[in-house]
Amino acid sequence: MPTALLSLVTWNSAESIEACLASVLAQSYTDFEVWVVDNDSYDDTCSRVAALAATDARLSLHQLPRNTGFCGGHNYSLDRTTHELVLLVNPDVEMAPDYLERAVAAIRQHEQIGTVCGLLLQSSEEDPRIDSAGMQALADGRFGLRLHGRRLSEVGALAQAHVDGADGALPLFRREFIDDLRVQGEFFDARFFAHKEDWDIAWRGRLYGWKTLFEPACRALHPRQFLPANLRLRRRLSGAIRTDAVKNQWLLLLKNTTSRQAPGLLLRALPRQLAILGYAALAERESLQAVRYLWQHWRDVQATRQLVQLRARQPWLPPAQPAGVTPLLSICVPTYHRPELLARALRSIGPLPAEVEVIISDNSTHNDFSEKVSAHVLHNQPGGRWRYYRNPAGGSAATNWVACVERARGHYILMLHDDDYLLPGGLLTMLHTLRRVRQQQHAVLFGVSVVDGNRQELQRQVPRHTTYLPPTQAVEALLTDSALVRIPALVVSREAYLRTGGPDPTQRDTDDTDLWLRVFAYGGVLQVPAVTAAYSVHDGALTTGMFQEQNIQLLLRIFQKARTHNLLPESRLRQAESHFFHQFVLAGAYRALRQHDAAGARKVLQLLQLPALRHLPVSLRWLPVRWGLHLLTLVRWSPPTPPRLVSWLRPSL
């Protein structure tokens, strides 16, 4: 694979794309490939790119079905490649032939240099005006283009210098920098679409300890056209762009301002932002949509802020260890006669970073379909980073789990069952967190998307805040919420597995909850509000598999173990027990009704009359739900699936 990726995002760029690509393909540094990601252009951009691609194998065209903006387009290429270096190229840029060569040499001067930016000029005249020489952070939370508009002759000799950030037109990024800056899997925040996203990257890079180097020997032509602070130009822009200019500035401040920066920075930023708000109210009403957007997405913005600030409190660390050393994460994929689902799970992992290994542990004995699927899907992955094992006949899910732990070499282990899958960017989000907490946490619980057999999302189960629950609180949370843990969302240290033992086969279908009890009692759990995986719910098995007296007795054994080991005071354990079983049983009845099985729902509700459950206290939270479901079984009515109700009635399957 080439060392560098050159990523271009186009949208109706026919006027400039050929000159841009000519300068790209003429670079003296030749170890690269070019991805042109087109955002559903309606001019002939794609035909022009395709014609060039037919003459140079380094160039490929990727056409998107809709306009995802600068952010979405570059995220598309970043999420599907693993090149050591990535140069973002605006389609209106023309590079000097040695731009990439000099930029690569500059970024390799020190491992803490995450970005290199060059000298961008507005024209090719003898004494051109400077477009940018990197960016500088301003006191009010904005960024300015260094030396913008000045004649080259005015500034004298330019030298290498560390700057506050790089303009988005032509920055060279180190892959470790890209992966470190990802939030919930995204490098560029897709909410920015196409404006101030480079400010966001510059701010986060500084917070995280990375350096941006300005290399004046890297030169390119970039006739800038978009300066929204110019009111005459601003009035000619579309309402969507003007709204983004307001919204994105607020996103920048809300996400990236640290508690230490807040008093001084917000004091300087507030007068300008109030003036912008007043101007919008008087002369640019469409920009008030920014207020509405933040109101509607406030919780998502807060979740992003928590992740950014959590990372900002950690020191910069050297790039991840090279291949051949102990992996940070082992992804274990237990499978059994479901090759089509196994293929989906393996594809979802994406390109394997050096610190990740994949282990497929196969209980299938009738054929070798799963082995062939594994070899086919993973054939492009580095050979030393994945292994396939066929287990002897007669094993169970529990023995397969134990086999996975024994074969894993990673510091952490993720169990990704063959019917579940990772979401785009999910693996990188996990790695970002695990690098920071490796010496501190034994269990990390991420968010999960609960999906049906058609991959339609039923609900999102996401921790509200980044929170560490010490052992007692973690045990209480587990024994209160029967759906707290979805397996593909929980990463556990290998040490915790070895110290607490694997699944107890005698617990049958409840062995995972029993295992989490021991893991949480050992080291607690860190909850992270980032959705990383999809958990598949198979409706056909819900009422027949779990909601029966045998499993009630098995779950009661788990509570008895908690009593035996004094993990919780009896009063709190009894209260947790009541919540757990009411949630579990009522969820089973609800889902039976959803399948138009009133008789099955009545049978599930009768479980609450078992001697061991009959005397549990009933909280006001569950009493109306219990009465309501009983009434629905009498009238044989299938309830709807409003999100709030589903979030209350989620079974641990």
Sketch out the chain's domains with CATH numbers. Answer: 4-221 (3.90.550.10), 231-313 (no CATH), 420-649 (no CATH)
pLDDT beyond 60 at 321: no
CA distance 359 to 356: 10
Q: Where are the beta strands (DSSP E) in 453-523?
A: 457-461, 467-469, 490-493
CA distance 421 to 424: 10
Please check whether residue 190 is in contact with residue 140, taking contact to mean a CB–CB distance below 8 angstroms: no
Q: End-to-end alpha-carbon separation of the chain, Å?
A: 41
Span 12-36, pLDDT tens digits: 999 999 999 999 999 999 999 999 9
- Of 61-70, 320-329, 456-465, 510-519, minimum mean pLDDT range: 320-329
The label of the residue with tokens 């556990």 reads 492
Among 410, 428, 430, which Cα is nearest to 358's? 410
Structure-token pair, residue 107 = 């970024």
Tabulate helix, strand, coil % of the chain (nearest 5): 45, 20, 35
Span 471-482, pLDDT tens digits: 999 999 999 998
CA distance 211 to 519: 39
Q: Where are the beta strands (DSSP E) in 349-407?
A: 356-362, 386-390
DSSP letter (8 states) at residue 84: S
Q: What is the pLDDT of residue 319?
A: 66
DSSP letter (8 states) at residue 283: H
pLDDT beyond 90 at 288: no
DSSP letter (8 states) at residue 354: T
Q: What is the pLDDT of residue 60?
A: 97
Q: Residue 539 — very low, low, confident or very high, per pLDDT cuts 50/70/90? A: low
Q: Residue 367 — very low, low, confident or very high, per pLDDT cuts 50/70/90? A: confident
Give the containing element (helix H, strand E) for 542.
Answer: helix 539-545
DSSP letter (8 states) at residue 487: G
Span 117-149, pLDDT tens digits: 999 999 999 999 999 999 999 999 999 999 999
How many beta carbons lie within 10 A of that of residue 624, not counting itself? 9
Q: How far is CA 237 from the centre of its chain?
A: 32
* Helix, strand, or coil (residue 331): strand
Q: Residue 323 — very low, low, confident or very high, per pLDDT cuts 50/70/90? A: very low
Q: What does the DSSP assignment read for 123-192? A: --SSSPBEEESSEEE-TTS-EEETTTT-BHHHH-----EEESB--TTS-EEEHHHHHHH-BTTBSS-GGG
Q: Residue 588 — very low, low, confident or very high, per pLDDT cuts 50/70/90? A: confident
Span 491-525, pLDDT tens digits: 999 999 999 988 888 888 888 899 999 999 999 99
Adjacent-strand bridge partners of 117: 214
Largest CA distance in the chain: 92
How many beta carbons lie within 10 A of that of residue 295, not counting itself? 8
Amino acid code (one letter) for 336: Y
Percent of the chain, pLDDT > 90?
A: 53
Residues 6+ apart with CB under 8 A from 326: 409, 410, 411
Give the residue-averaged pLDDT of 205-218.
97
CA distance 363 to 400: 7
Structure-token pair, residue 368 = 């070798």
DSSP letter (8 states) at residue 379: T
CA atoms within a 13 Å half-sphere pointing along the CA-CB vector of 651: 23
Higher pLDDT, 329 or 454: 329
Q: How far is CA 45 from the centre of its chain?
A: 31
Q: How far is CA 627 from the centre of its chain?
A: 40
| Pair type for strands 443-451 and 525-536 | parallel
Q: What is the pLDDT of residue 325?
A: 65
| Pair type for strands 211-221 and 113-121 | parallel
Q: Residue 238 — very low, low, confident or very high, per pLDDT cuts 50/70/90? A: low
Tell me, yes or no, if the pTM score tops 0.85: no
Residues 6+ apart with CB under 8 A from 560: none
pLDDT beyond 50 at 612: yes
Please check whether residue 116 is in contact with residue 195, taking contact to mean a CB–CB distance below 8 angstroms: no
DSSP letter (8 states) at residue 104: H
Q: What is the pLDDT of residue 383?
A: 65
Q: Residue 211 — very low, low, confident or very high, per pLDDT cuts 50/70/90? A: very high
DSSP letter (8 states) at residue 318: P
DSSP letter (8 states) at residue 287: G
Q: What is the pLDDT of residue 269?
A: 83
H-assigned helices in 284-338 = 289-296, 298-312
How many beta carbons lie within 10 A of that of residue 508, not counting itself? 15
CA distance 506 to 368: 29
Give the residue-averaged pLDDT of 242-264.
87
Give the residue-averaged pLDDT of 456-471.
90
Structure-token pair, residue 79 = 């999420």
CA atoms within a 13 Å half-sphere pointing along the CA-CB vector of 127: 7
Higher pLDDT, 320 or 645: 320
Please check whether residue 516 is in contact with residue 490, taking contact to mean a CB–CB distance below 8 angstroms: yes
Span 30-61, pLDDT tens digits: 999 999 999 999 999 999 999 999 999 999 99
Give the residue-averaged pLDDT of 610-632.
82
Q: What is the pLDDT of residue 543?
A: 37
